[in-house]
Amino acid sequence: MLPSVSETRESSTRQWAFDTCSRLWPWARKGTLALSDQFLNSGSNFLLAILLARWLPAHAYGAYALAFSIYLLGINLQQSLVTEPMAVFGPATYRENLPQYLGVLLWINGLLAFLFALFLGVCALVAHEFRLSGGLAGSFAGLSLAAGCNFVLQWLRRALYLEYRVAEATAGSLLYSLLLVSGTWIVYRHGLLSSFSAFVVMAIGSLVTSAFLLFRLKPVIRPAGHPDWAEVWRRHWDYGRWVLGTSAVKWIPGNSFYLVTGGLLGMADVGALKALLNLFLPLGQAGNSLSLVFQPYVSGVFGRKGRESTRVPVEWVTIAFLGAGLAYLAVLVVFKRPLFHLLYGGKFMDAFYLVPWVAVGGALVVASYGPAIGLRAIQSPSSVFGIYSGAALVSIVLGVLGTWALGLKGTIGAWVLSDLSTVVLATWMFYRKVGARPASESLKASERSQRIEA
Task: Report yes or no on 444 lying in a domain.
Answer: no
- CA-closest candidate to residue 198, choices 133, 145, 121: 145
One domain, residues 335 and 428: yes
Predicted confidence (pLDDT) at residue 362 exceeds the cutoff of 70 = yes
Task: Report the mean per-residue pLDDT for the chain.
Answer: 83
Task: Report yes or no on 283 lying in a domain.
Answer: yes
Expressed in angstroms, the distance from the first to the final Cα of the chain is 54
Task: Report yes or no on 13 lying in a domain.
Answer: no
- CA-closest candidate to residue 133, choices 264, 251, 254: 264
Q: Tell me the average pLDDT across 214-239.
A: 80
Instruction: List the domain range (segments joined by +) for residue 392.
Output: 249-437
Task: Report yes or no on 297 lying in a domain.
Answer: yes
Query: Greater confidence, 95 or 215?
Result: 215
Task: Report yes or no on 290 lying in a domain.
Answer: yes
One domain, residues 159 and 98: yes
Using pLDDT thresholds of 50, 70 and 90, give the confidence band for residue 437: very low
One domain, residues 263 and 365: yes
Using pLDDT thresholds of 50, 70 and 90, give the confidence band for residue 121: very high
| Rounded Cα distance, 111 and 311, in Å | 43
One domain, residues 148 and 265: no
One domain, residues 170 and 222: yes
DSSP state letter for 133: S
Cβ contact 378:238 at 8 Å = no
Number of domains the chain is built from: 2
One domain, residues 256 and 343: yes
Predicted confidence (pLDDT) at residue 339 exceeds the cutoff of 60 = yes
Cβ contact 258:339 at 8 Å = no
Cα 23 to chain center, whole Å? Answer: 30
Give the 3-state secondary structure percentages of the chain, helix then strand then coil, rounded to 5: 90, 0, 10
Residue 402: what residue type?
A: G
Task: Report yes or no on 77 lying in a domain.
Answer: yes
Task: Report yes or no on 11 lying in a domain.
Answer: no
Q: Tell me the average pLDDT across 218-246.
A: 78
One domain, residues 308 and 406: yes
Task: Report yes or no on 450 lying in a domain.
Answer: no
One domain, residues 72 and 162: yes
Cβ contact 109:155 at 8 Å = yes
Using pLDDT thresholds of 50, 70 and 90, give the confidence band for residue 448: very low
One domain, residues 274 and 177: no
> Which pLDDT tens digit goes with each residue over 390-418?
999 999 999 999 999 999 999 999 999 99
pTM, two decimals, is 0.78
Count of other CB atoms within 10 angstroms of residue 107: 16
Using pLDDT thresholds of 50, 70 and 90, give the confidence band for residue 319: very high
One domain, residues 126 and 212: yes
| Rounded Cα distance, 125 and 450, in Å | 71
One domain, residues 318 and 431: yes
One domain, residues 189 and 283: no
Cα 386 to chain center, whole Å? Answer: 19
Q: Could you write out the DSSP letters of every residue in 338-372?
A: HHHHHHHTTTTGGGGGGHHHHHHHHHHHHHHHHHH
